[in-house]
Chains A and B, each alone.
Chain A
Amino acid sequence: MNQPAAEPDASSGRNVVFRIEHVRKEYHVEDTVVYALRDASLDIFENECLVILGPSGSGKSTLLNIIGGIDTPSSGRVLFRDTDLSRYDRNALTMYRRVNIGFVFQFYNLIPNLTARENVEMAAEISKSAMDPNEALGLVNLELRKDHFPSQLSGGEQQRVAIARAVAKRPDILLCDEPTGALDVSSGKVVLQVLADVNRTTNATVVIITHNAIIGNMADRVVHMTDGRIRDIVVNHERATVHSLEW
């Protein structure tokens, strides 16, 4: 089912966490201008699982980074629960990320000389409401590997540590940029299962970027991006379970 992009989802009546309004992002490289985002508008709801699909270079990561407060739009605005993120200065953005956001990256980006547990502690340490690192590792079924260094873990396991790290501080929003991009099918599924569980148990809003259209089936809504614009949004009335996904 297609829906106009910026319209509030009156039917579900859920609260909006992010209201993205006419956001543009352009990069000036030498003489040419690269448009990463051209007029993107989107609402993201509390506790939903949102998947963003789109070809390479369509601006997915850029959008995610702007939501996460590690990048800023060239124009337009992003409202986070009615406050405009563009009014935040660097420090406020840092505090915003500290309290609200959890990031998961395609290449895990664990700190190589910290153990799995310490990597989680790294995030927990700066958060007041953090969960116990062991509990976070429990969520991703890695309690037994907690004293291993990243280099001693497989890619899928590293990604699960990265998720544990992201959820440890109980963020309201979990932003995942191609979390399965570097994984095979089975470990990719384990990771997605973890994300689905987190979405269900912690009430966090989960945003997942992927190239894989199949993954869209596990989401509440699927956003399609092309060329820096949001092409359409598909609402899944029935979310597929992770283990039923096949690619």
Chain B
Amino acid sequence: MTILTRKLLRDIWRARGQSFAIAMLVCAGTSEYVGVASVQRNLQLTRDEYYADCRMANFFISLARAPRSVADDLREIPGVRNVQGRIVKDVNLGIEGYEESRTGRIISLPDVRAPVINDIVLITGRYFEHRSTSEIILSHAFATANKLKIGDTITASINNRQHTLHIVGTGMSPEYVYMIRSAQELIPNPDRFGVLWVSQTFAEQSFAMQGACNDFVGTVERPAEIDRILNTASSVLAPYGVFAKTNRKDQTSSFFLANEIRVLGIATAIIPPIFMGVTALVLVVLLNRMVRHERTQIGVMKAFGYSDASVAAHYVWFALVLGLAGCLAGYFGGVLVVKWVMQIYIRVFQFPTFRMDIYPIIMLQSAVLTMVCAAAGAFGAARQAARIEPAIAIRAEAPKYSRRIFLERFNLIWGSLSFSSKMIARNMARYKFRAVFTLSGVAMSTAMLLMGWFLMDAVNYMIDFQFSQTQLEDVRVLLNGEQGKDTYHDLQRLSDVKAVEPVLQYPFEARTNWRKKEIAIVGIPAQSTLWRLIDTQGNRVEIDKHDFVLDERLAEQLGVQPGDELVLKPLMGRVPKERRVHVTKIVKQYLGMGSYMEIEALSRVLDEPFAMNTALIRSEWQRARELDKGLRDVAAIASVRIKEDSHANLKKSLGESMRAVNVIILGFAAAIAFAIIYNSTIVSLTERHRELAALRVMGYLPSEVGRLIYNENLLLSAIGFVVGIPLGIGLCGLIVMAYENDLFRLPFKIGLRAYALTILTTFCFVTVANLAARRKILQLDMVEALKMRD
């Protein structure tokens, strides 16, 4: 080991607190990058392999009913690889021991196992053996959540008949990785919704659909051509009434999965650069001080014949060694992050197997990034070291001539300052760069903290807004298809029902002169008390026969304002008769993107006097659960949702993941605040060694000297905080944009609570970093400090 290497290691050891802080920063950045980037790749590869192995469909077309043989016609469309017809229907399920209703989605599979599109993976049990019998394979999550095993039975009402179904296996499908019934639900609810795979023969018999199907799935040669293929397919299928044609990227499960992968990508793109930047900054401060401090040593080494390059390299190595140490620790951290985050995903996404890998290429990338940043941080110091002239360096350093600072021109203010305030003011002026550095570190950490606290509040606000301001029913009932007034009256007569409101939701294609979008229009009663619309100012919006109301975001996407005209074309197998409507009002909505009309007006658009497919029910006080049980026997009902449960479920799962995000952000903010404040405090201590020792000699207590430094930091932190708040607001805006998708938008509202918590946590971090540095003040050796020449 060369002497310089030995010196290097001792230098690192001597500055171990600071070295540790730097290595920790690198470690945090590396763990995050390696961890999250690996998770992203794992998720992506797991998905891609799963999709490939099970032949995930590229498109989905649902319709009323078509002969199975139409699949042959669809296969003729150029670019189509394969098409298969199947029966897909939602039914009400009953499970022994549970009283609430459950929704099962029945999907037909061939009687004999074949390599179908959207094939399933059997997790337990076996495939169907006896054709035409009521054997089912249950989606694994649903079976687990309801403690159902092979051999158990469940009942389903199919076409007004109760069937007893026998569970022979549990499985998973690429179509239901994110297992929700419809996109509006946002969060899987595995005990209330499951998929039941049944044999084709059984499905045809029980639904009376012999030789027919109501769903086509297909694969294509080139996904880029999918729109053209879907259009051709629609015209082929026109006689059978197409309900919906869906590209794989818009398929619910696929969409959520892709969104998650996208958000992970954003996380890997934003956070590591912040860390690397901060690391480089900390190195700049630390190493510049070191070079200044070791000026004479450097001069001596050069006088003895060490070259400029070898001396400069010494300081670059210092940075590289710390970077390397942080990187290595970061890899282990990355492994933990992968384990931890994948654990969350395993609960959320239904994959038969999960990749849990760490990728060498990602490690390499992060190592290269770290080394480049470390070297960049050391560059200035190294250049300074190279430029030191031995003849000058070995002379005693000329005292820096001190200038009057700006504040001193204001005699009144300056005169009234205490000695220690003057010292603080002079110091900040003397070490401007470090002051700016501390300040920006605090600002950065403040901004991150605000973002973390904001995210938590925003998610809660979004959910609470939805469930306490707009969605005012106790129970929401989805009906089987469209129903008339009779069903409405039937529901009103049920016990525990206080009020019922009919709702009609129907998909349309909305078109302006230059834009086109599929939207779902919701028809609600004119004086609705259970579905409340709120405008952008927070006022209640009434709806009447002539109104066409759009949510802010949808209006943005369509590029329309009140007064503008839209052309509506009904989808789902209706005769495509176009209507013109005028946008009359704009409302605010965070979950989903809505458009609203009065229910009878909407019915008339569909050429019906009155139609409903959803009912909102206000139950008697605290009777929602009893009501739910009563609803199970109503034939027209497809599924029932108790608002309280949806609310709690959404809050629990979204809240949980936001808490996890917040913990990460808090940790990062803490690491940054700590590393920066600790470092600049230590640097300032060593630089002002003699001056502080002199104060101690004069009779200052360590605590008084400490307070001098603490006050300086506090002042800088306060300024940093003030700068950090607008920065944080900007970050919040960015995150709102990053998170925004068709399903929800976070409200860009930063509450007092978030500000208060940000102040509190910033203050905590500043104090902790100061306490850590305090030890050094107590250790200040007066004799030694004053003996040294340098």
Selected contact of A113 from candidates B7, B296, B301, CB within 8 Å: B7
B390 near A101 with CB under 8 A, answer no
Q: Is the CB of A109 within 8 A of B300?
A: yes
Q: Flag if B305 contacts A99 (CB, 8 Å).
A: yes
The answer to whether B301 and A65 touch across the interface, beta carbons within 8 angstroms, is no
Asked if A22 CB lies within 8 Å of chain B CBs, one says no
Residues of chain A in range 56-77 having any CB-CB distance to chain B below 8 Å: 61, 65, 68, 70-71
Q: Of B297, B302, B789, which one neighbours A111 at CB under 8 angstroms?
A: B297
In the assembled complex, which residues on chain B have CB atoms less than 8 Å from the CB atom of A112? 297
Q: Judge whether B353 is part of the interface by a CB distance below 8 angstroms.
A: no
Q: In the docked arrangement, what's the CA distance between A113 and B15, Å?
A: 12
When A70-B391, A107-B789 are in contact, do A113 and B14 touch as well, CB less than 8 Å?
A: yes
A172 within 8 A of B: no
Bound Cα distance from A70 to B298, whole angstroms: 12
**Residues on the A chain within 8 Å of B306, using CB:** 94, 98, 126
B391 touches A65 (CB 8 A): yes
Q: Cβ of A109 and Cβ of B389 under 8 Å apart?
A: no
Instruction: Report the interface size class on chain B.
Output: 20 to 34
A145 interface residue, CB < 8 Å from B? Answer: no
B490 within 8 Å of A (CB atoms): no
Instruction: Return the CB mask of A155-175 against B: 1 if under 8 Å, else 0.
Output: 000000000011001000000
- A contact residues, total (Cβ < 8 Å): 34
Known contacts being A70-B303, A97-B305, A99-B305, is A109 close to B297, with CB within 8 Å?
A: yes
Which residues of A are found within 8 Å of B6, using beta-carbon distances? 114, 118
Which residues of chain B are near A135, meaning CB under 8 Å?
none
B784 within 8 A of A: yes
In the bound complex, do residue A94 and residue B307 qualify as a contact, i.e. CB atoms below 8 Å apart? Answer: yes
Let me know if B394 and A105 touch, CB within 8 A: yes
Q: Is B2 an interface residue (CB 8 A)?
A: yes
Partner of B303, one of A68, A118, A127: A68
For residues 410 through 425 of chain B, which have their beta carbon under 8 Å from a beta carbon of chain A? none
Interface mask (B376-401 → A, CB under 8 Å = 1, otherwise 0): 00000000000001110011100000
Chain B residues with CB below 8 A from A107, complex form: 296, 396, 789
Is there a chain B Cβ closer than 8 Å to A48's Cβ?
A: no
Report the bound CA distance from A169 to B394 in whole Å: 20
A122 contacts B3, C-beta separation under 8 Å: yes
Q: State the CA gap A107–B14 with chains docked (Å).
A: 23
Asked whether B485 is an interface residue with its Cβ less than 8 Å from the other chain, the reply is no
Q: Closest chain A residue to B304 by CB distance?
A: A123
Contacts of B297 in A (CB 8 A): 109, 111-112
Q: Are B11 and A113 in contact (CB under 8 A)?
A: yes
Residue of A65, A98, A109, A114 with most partner-chain B CB within 10 A: A109
B10 interface hit (Cβ, 8 Å): yes
Query: Scoring B residues 774 to 790 as 1 if CB is less than 8 Å from chain A, else 0, what string do you get?
Result: 00000000001000010
CA–CA, A235 and B307, complex, Å:
38
Interface check B626, CB cutoff 8 A: no
Proximity bits, B1-37, A CB within 8 Å = 1, else 0: 0111011001100100000000000000000000000
- C-alpha spacing A103/B390, complex, angstroms: 11
Q: Which residues of the other chain, B, contact A97 by a CB distance below 8 angstroms?
A: 302-305
Q: A residues within 8 A CB of B302? A: 70, 94, 97
Q: Contact string, A182-208, partner B, CB cutoff 8 A, digits 1/0?
A: 000000000000000000000000000
Which one of A61, A101, A111 lies within 8 Å of B395 (CB-CB)?
A61
Contact partner of A94 (CB less than 8 A), chosen from B4, B308, B391, B789, is B308
A114 & B7 in contact (Cβ 8 Å cutoff) = yes
In the bound complex, residues from chain A placing their C-beta under 8 Å from that of B395 are: 61
Interchain CB contact (< 8 A) of A98 among B14, B296, B304, B394: B304
Question: How near does chain A come to B592, taking the closest CB pair, in angstroms?
Answer: 65
Which interface residue of B7, B300, B301, B308 has the most chain A CB atoms within 10 A?
B300
> Please, how many angstroms separate the alpha-carbon atoms of A123 and B304 in the complex?
7
CA distance A107 to B395 in the complex (A): 9
Residue of B nearest to A95 (CB): B305
Most chain-A Cβ atoms within 10 A of its Cβ — which of B3, B300, B305, B390?
B305
Closest to B386 in A: A90
Q: How far is the CA of A96 from the CA of B301 in the complex (A)?
A: 14
Query: Measured between C-beta atoms, what is the minimum distance from A168 to chain B in Å?
Result: 10
Contact in complex: A125, B3 (CB < 8 Å): yes
- The residues of A that contact B3 with a CB separation of less than 8 Å are 114, 118, 121-122, 125
Alpha-carbon distance A105/B299, docked complex (angstroms): 11
B391 A125 Cβ-Cβ under 8 A: no
- Alpha-carbon separation in the docked complex, A13 to B11 (Å): 51
* Chain A positions 27 through 70: 1 when the CB is less than 8 Å from some CB of chain B, otherwise 0: 00000000000000000000000000000000001000100101
| Contact for B391 among A71, A113, A122, CB less than 8 A | A71
Residues of B within 8 A of A109 (CB): 296-297, 299-300, 394
Chain A nearest CB: distance from B321 CB in Å? 15
A30: shortest Cβ distance to chain B, in Å? 11
- A90's nearest neighbour on chain B, judged by CB, is B308
Does residue A244 face the partner (Cβ distance < 8 Å to B)?
Answer: no
Instruction: List the B side residues contacting A98 at CB < 8 Å.
Output: 304-306
- Taking CB atoms, residues of chain B closer than 8 Å to A113 are 7, 10-11, 14
A109 to chain B, nearest CB (A): 5
Complex contacts, B299 vs chain A, CB 8 Å: 70, 109
Residues of B355-409 whose CB lies within 8 A of A: 389-391, 394-396
- Write the nearest CB–CB distance from B763 to chain A, whole angstroms: 36
Q: Which of B292-336 contact A (CB under 8 A)?
A: 296-297, 299-308
Bound Cα distance from A17 to B264, whole angstroms: 71
* A129 at interface by CB-CB < 8 Å: no
Q: Tell me if A15 counts as interface (CB < 8 A to partner B).
A: no
B292 CB, nearest partner CB in chain A, Å: 15
User: Which of B3, B297, B307, B390 has most chain A Cβ within 10 Å?
Assistant: B3
- Is A151 part of the contact surface with B, judged by Cβ < 8 Å? yes
Which residues of B, 563-587, contact A by the 8 Å Cβ criterion? Answer: none
Q: Contacts A70-B390, A91-B307, A98-B304 given: A151-B784 contact, CB under 8 Å?
A: yes
Per the bound structure, the CA–CA distance linking A51 and B127 in Å amounts to: 104
Least CB distance, B382 to chain A, in whole angstroms: 16
User: Smallest Cβ distance from B23 to chain A, in angstroms?
Assistant: 20
B305 touches A101 (CB 8 A): yes
A105 touches B11 (CB 8 A): no
Task: Check B7–A103 contact: CB distance below 8 A.
Answer: no
Q: With contacts A70-B389, A71-B391, A111-B300 known, is A126 near B308, CB below 8 A?
A: no
A123 to B394, CA, bound (A): 16
> CA A102 – CA B304 in complex, angstroms?
7
| Closest residue of B by beta carbon distance from A175 | B303
B227 to chain A, nearest CB (A): 67
Q: Which residues of B contact A70 (CB under 8 A)?
A: 299, 302-303, 389-391, 394
Give chain B residues whose Cβ lies under 8 Å from the Cβ of A127: 305
Contact check, B7 vs A111: say whether CB atoms are below 8 A apart.
yes
- CB-defined contacts of A61 to chain B, threshold 8 Å: 395
Give CA–CA (A94, B296) in the complex, Å.
17
- The closest CB in chain A to the CB of B787 belongs to A151
Give the shortest distance, in Å, between A66 (CB) and chain B (any CB): 8
| The 7 nearest A-B residue pairs measured at CB | A98-B305, A71-B391, A70-B390, A97-B305, A65-B391, A113-B10, A122-B3
Task: Please name 7 further chain A to chain B contacts, defined as beta carbons within 8 Å, in addition to the given A96-B305, A99-B305, sorted by A numbering.
Answer: A95-B305, A97-B305, A109-B297, A122-B4, A122-B304, A126-B304, A126-B306
Binding site for B on A (CB under 8 A): 61, 65, 68, 70-71, 90-91, 94-99, 101-103, 105, 107, 109, 111-114, 118, 121-123, 125-127, 151, 165-166, 169
Residue numbers of B with Cβ under 8 A of A are 2-4, 6-7, 10-11, 14, 296-297, 299-308, 389-391, 394-396, 784, 789
19 A-B residue pairs with CB within 8 Å: A65-B391, A70-B302, A70-B389, A70-B390, A94-B302, A95-B305, A101-B305, A103-B300, A105-B300, A111-B300, A111-B301, A112-B297, A113-B10, A114-B10, A121-B3, A122-B301, A126-B304, A126-B306, A169-B304
